[in-house]
Amino acid sequence: MFVYIARRIVYVIPIVVSVALVCFLLVHITPGDPLVAILPADASQELAAQLRIAYGFDRPLPVQFGLWLWRALHGDLGNSIATGRPVLAEVLRAVGNTVTLAIAAASIGFTLGLFFGLIAGYFRDTWVDKVATSIAIAGVSVPHYWLGMVLVIIFSVQLNWLPAVGAGPGGSGSWGWDWEHIKYLVLPAITTSVIPMGIITRTVRALTGDILSQDFVEALRAKGLRETKVFRHVIKNAAPTALAVMGLQLGYMLGGSILIETVFSWPGSGLLLNSAIFQRDLPLLQGTILVLALFFVFLNLLVDIAQAAIDPRIKRS
């Protein structure tokens, strides 16, 4: 087990470096001089040359990457061009709100997904299965930003029950788990939960079906085990894979929140990314993507280790 974890961690290192490289190169595939975003419109040639040297843009690319990586390792992702504040601080503040949203969405999506998946797999080919699979396929096919709009139309515009945008009183920095704040979370969380709900339903349904058709279930029933007990075995066998899928989905919610945060003006990392793109704030863009991708890699690592911990078959390999 220890060897497995160690190997898994070592395996992550080249991935992390590659992710950093991709983030670094993103700025360099940007059309035009990266300086353009930094320079004032009326900058002189001398100022441009000075800044070029100051930012190290005159050095060869690998050297630039090395320096950038070195600074990034020390928590220095540069300063935002728009606000002048350190990128890392901006990103971490926004990520906190995204995590809030993702956790709320996960608790809705995972619960529903597990429930629908288990009953659909257990009552395969009955009307229960048909309803659950229809909900699931709608969940994975719906453009979630549109669903967000529709929910706003129904619950904010028509019924006026819930607020349409924002994160509640006090703005982005003062989240609290009270109704004054939570009512702002409801619609974005429901919207975010739809895709993971659909994917988990489909995964768990397939898993349950497979497990139920295996010989050991036959044997359990043959020895007179009650169905509820049989069901416990099914859940135990489905758990490792279901867990892996849920971990991955949590990562997607953290990293893929930009559309939903834009619809609801939710002050998370997605909205930050959106403003970084449209203000051509390249250090902020680079930093946000790097942090989100590293979050995702780290989460995948945790999932692998957790999976190994509960699935005896993985430890051996």
Does position 3 bind another protein by CB under 8 A? yes
Does position 254 bind another protein by CB under 8 A? yes
Q: Which stretch binds another protein (CB under 8 A): 29-37, 109-117, 120-128, 172-180?
A: 29-37
For residues 117 and 200, is the Cβ–Cβ distance under 8 A? yes
Q: Which stretch binds another protein (CB under 8 A): 119-127, 223-231, 237-245, 270-278?
A: 270-278
Q: Which of 24, 110, 184, 296 binds another protein (CB under 8 A)?
A: 296
- Identify which of residues 10 and 222 has a Cβ nearer to another protein in the complex: 10
Q: Which stretch binds another protein (CB under 8 A): 61-69, 148-156, 175-183, 216-224?
A: 148-156
According to DSSP, residue 58 is labeled T
Q: Which of 29, 41, 159, 222 binds another protein (CB under 8 A)?
A: 29
- Among 300, 250, 249, residue whose Cα is nearest residue 103: 250
Does position 289 bind another protein by CB under 8 A? yes
Q: Which stretch binds another protein (CB under 8 A): 42-50, 135-143, 216-224, 237-245?
A: 135-143
54 contacts: CB under 8 Å, gap ≥ 6: none
- Identify which of residues 239 and 256 has a Cβ nearer to another protein in the complex: 256
Q: Which of 252, 306, 307, 309 binds another protein (CB under 8 A)?
A: 252
Q: How many whole angstroms separate alpha carbon 11 and alpha carbon 289?
A: 21
For residues 35 and 48, is the Cβ–Cβ distance under 8 A? yes
Closest distance to another protein from the beta carbon of 25 (Å): 9
Does position 13 bind another protein by CB under 8 A? no
Does position 15 bind another protein by CB under 8 A? yes
Q: Which of 53, 61, 131, 157 binds another protein (CB under 8 A)?
A: 157
Q: Which residues of 214-253 are buried (b: 16+ CB within 10 A; e: fewer)?
A: eeebeebeeeeeeeeebbebbeebbebbbbbbbbbbbbbb
Q: How many whole angstroms separate alpha carbon 97 and alpha carbon 43?
A: 37
- Identify which of residues 197 and 292 has a Cβ nearer to another protein in the complex: 292
In order, the DSSP letters of 145-212 are HHHHHHHIIIIIIIS--S-SSS--TTGGG---SSHHHHHHHHHHHHHHHHHHHHHHHHHHHHHHHHHH
- Identify which of residues 29 and 73 has a Cβ nearer to another protein in the complex: 29
Does position 150 bind another protein by CB under 8 A? yes
Q: How many whole angstroms separate alpha carbon 36 and alpha carbon 48?
A: 9
217 contacts: CB under 8 Å, gap ≥ 6: 211, 230, 233, 234
For residues 43 and 288, is the Cβ–Cβ distance under 8 A? no
In one letter, which amino acid is 65?
Answer: F
Does position 61 bind another protein by CB under 8 A? no
Does position 152 bind another protein by CB under 8 A? yes
Task: Give residues in contact with another protein (CB under 8 A).
Answer: 3, 6-7, 10, 14-15, 18-19, 22-23, 26-27, 29-31, 137-138, 140-147, 149-150, 152-153, 157-158, 251-252, 254-256, 258-259, 262-263, 273-274, 276-278, 285, 289, 292-293, 296-297, 300
